[in-house]
Amino acid sequence: MIGLRGVYAVGVPVRDQDRALAFYIDVLGLRLRRDVPSDELAGRWIEVAPSGAATTIALVPERDDLRCGSDTGIRLGVTDAETARAELLRRGVEAGQVGGCAAAPPTFVIRDQDGNSVMLVEHSGRDSGVRGR
């Protein structure tokens, strides 16, 4: 057994860590979990997360093998997609239309300060059942 205990962090490439930190904290409302200097990264190791979340988002300096402007694969839960989208638009965030399909809840995509996309998914937090198959 290798001892996997869950998803610790998801890395998001950023050009300017201070601007990224401002976006993820001031605009999205995430909480700062860690911010320490790192010579190896030529910057800092920064982690942010929604309050109470186990998994963090690491805002790591862009490099050749980790480029800005891509789909992060991150899916953040919101209680109401339409309300969240309207508020983010008011805050100046680029946000797509709310959509979805029969198998998935309402979703929309936003872009951060470096063009990285993050999907927001309407989620009540109550459903923990497995469906399908």
C-alpha to C-alpha distance for 125 and 103, rounded to whole angstroms: 17
Q: What's 54-67 look like in SS3?
A: CCEEEEEECECCEC
Residue 22 is classified by DSSP as H
This prediction has a pTM of 0.87
Q: What is the full per-residue pLDDT of the chain (133 aa) written as tens digits?
A: 888 888 999 999 999 999 999 999 999 999 999 999 988 888 899 999 999 999 999 999 998 999 999 999 999 999 999 999 999 999 999 999 999 888 889 999 999 999 999 999 998 765 545 455 4
